[in-house]
Structure 1
Amino acid sequence: MASHIVDAMTTLPQRPNSALLVIDVQNGVVAPDAPHREAVIANINTLVGRARTADVPVVWIQHQDEELTAGTESWEFVPDLKRLDTEPLIAKSYRDSFDDTDLESVLAERGVGRLVVTGAQSDFCVRSTLHGALARGYDATLVADAHTTVDLTAYGAPAPEQVITSTNLYWSSQHAPGRQGGTLNTTEVTF
């Protein structure tokens, strides 16, 4: 089940395996006008297929709060992505997918020390989870063409395309003692 994502150096002993995280690709999170929406979803589907073929865990993260109420259409994953009942589903209420969830125990049970991260939103839950993973000892690779965000320019944020580019640039050289970040495109990810 181990994958060769990058020259990984996870600090988690006895956890040589990789997992694919699909973060918040929900109807109420991934707007119809999100940059490269269809390509991002297609790339995530490609990665999910590769992970399944390689017997690599696919872990689905689903946000819920007062705007994304569990059981509503906006809370559901986009119709183009299909989670298998056997794949872990992590319900979260904070941006970092590790905070107040059982993600850590799910990954530990599967011997996972390396994460391949996809999803939405680039500047919120994706970035927070990447940092949370690195801080907890994981290697964390962001798939550069498999995440997106929404337009928050009305609130002073950069344009969505700039957010995606900035997130990729920022994470491309991210590392910590004994841990590695980095980015790859979908075509470069192997499990």
Structure 2
Amino acid sequence: MKESNKALLVIDVQNGMFLDSDPVFQGEELLTKIQMLISKARSKNIPIFYVQHNEGKDEILEPGTQGWLIHPSILPNDLDTIIQKKTPDSFFETTLKQELDKKKIEEIILTGIQTDLCVDTTCRRAFSLGYKVTLVKDAHSTWGSQDLTAIQIINHHNSILRWFSSVKHSDEIQFE
């Protein structure tokens, strides 16, 4: 079987997700894992797609604000593609599918924020569009809710999203 064309997808890893007052769960560990994946992908010339969420005026992810910017520890380079979105679905009313198709991508390695919204929705949608999806189980994160801790939400999604993806630890990810 032919090796599929892979891409790394980094969803919503923006400054506003790392506020001191309400940081994403294990944010520093998340950044370290994503940095490692970016480094591995770049070393093998694997395309990297950053998805950047856009909120309305005076929101934390308002375009052009400090919170909206991609986190400085994982900045894109000139070869990377940045996709703008307004909903949890990275494909809905964006250019993501067209950009993936241009590069003949068949497999998406999925990382980012927020496990229970943008990561979940994008994972399911990518599967429905026919992509092979690998969810990096230790490279996505969220916040706790009134009913569940962040780790409970992450673990639940790692279990449920196996129906739509191959769920792997970051150390298991191979870019070839």
The total of aligned residue pairs comes to: 169
Q: How does 1:33-182 map to 2 (within 5 A)?
A: 33-66=23-56, 67=59, 68-153=61-146, 157-172=147-162, 174-175=163-164, 181-182=165-166
Which of these residues, 17, 21, 30, is aligned with residue 29 of structure 1?
Answer: 17
Which of structures 1 and 2 has the larger relative contact order (alpha carbons within 8 angstroms, sep 6+)?
Answer: 1
Taking every aligned residue pair, what percent have the same amino acid on both sides? 33
User: What is the CA-CA distance between 1:170 and the residue it aligns to?
Assistant: 1.0
Is the CA contact (8 Å cut-off) linking 1:29 and 1:121 kept in structure 2? no
Give the secondary-structure state (helix, strand or coil) at the position aligned to 1:158. Answer: coil
Q: Which runs of 5+ in 2 are unaligned?
A: none
What's the counterpart of residue 7 of structure 1? none
TM-score normalised by L of structure 2:
0.91
RMSD value, Cα: 1.4
**SS of 1:80 mapped into structure 2:** helix
More helix per residue: 2
Q: What 5-or-longer segments of structure 1 have no aligned partner?
A: 4-15, 176-180
Q: Is the 8 A contact 1:114 1:139 kept in 2?
A: yes
SS at match of 1:144: strand
